[in-house]
Amino acid sequence: MNVLPIKAAPLLLHAGGARSHPDLPFFDDDDLESWDNWLRAHRLEVMRVWMEDDALAVDSYRKFLAGDITEALSAWQPCKPDGDYAWFLLAVFDGREGPCAYFVRSASLFF
């Protein structure tokens, strides 16, 4: 399978303030195999950032805790993991364990 690399792009806004990369397909929450296969096909490694752990997300997290989930997700600009510029934002959403963001970067060195 010849898959083009995914590059950083403006995220698409979804209902409830969630956002995702335009090339990210929808995956069912329990379909980890398809998610892993998609990451592998695109040679991406992923890092999850939780809103509650993001030092710059204090205001967004307060909004989330107050029940304004849409505003909290829409306003949140997650910090890149370790400040590494190779990471780019893939998705922002309210996961099962709270609001989180997925960052990805090329993992071609590992394949």
**pLDDT at 4 exceeding the cut of 50:** yes
1 vs 28, more confident: 28
Q: How far is CA 74 from CA 1, 9, 35, 36, 39, in A?
A: 35, 16, 24, 26, 25
- The pLDDT of residue 11: 96
Per-residue pLDDT band for 111 (boundaries 50, 70, 90) equals: very low
Q: What is the 3-state secondary structure (H, E, C) of 7-29?
A: CCCCCEECHHHCEECCCCCCCCC
Rounded Cα distance, 76 and 68, in Å: 12
The 10 Å CB-count burial string (b at 16+, else e) for 52-73 is: eebeebeebbebbeeeebeebb
33 vs 83, more confident: 33
pTM above 0.85, yes or no: yes
Domain ranges of the chain: 12-110
Q: What is the mean pLDDT of residues 38-45?
A: 92
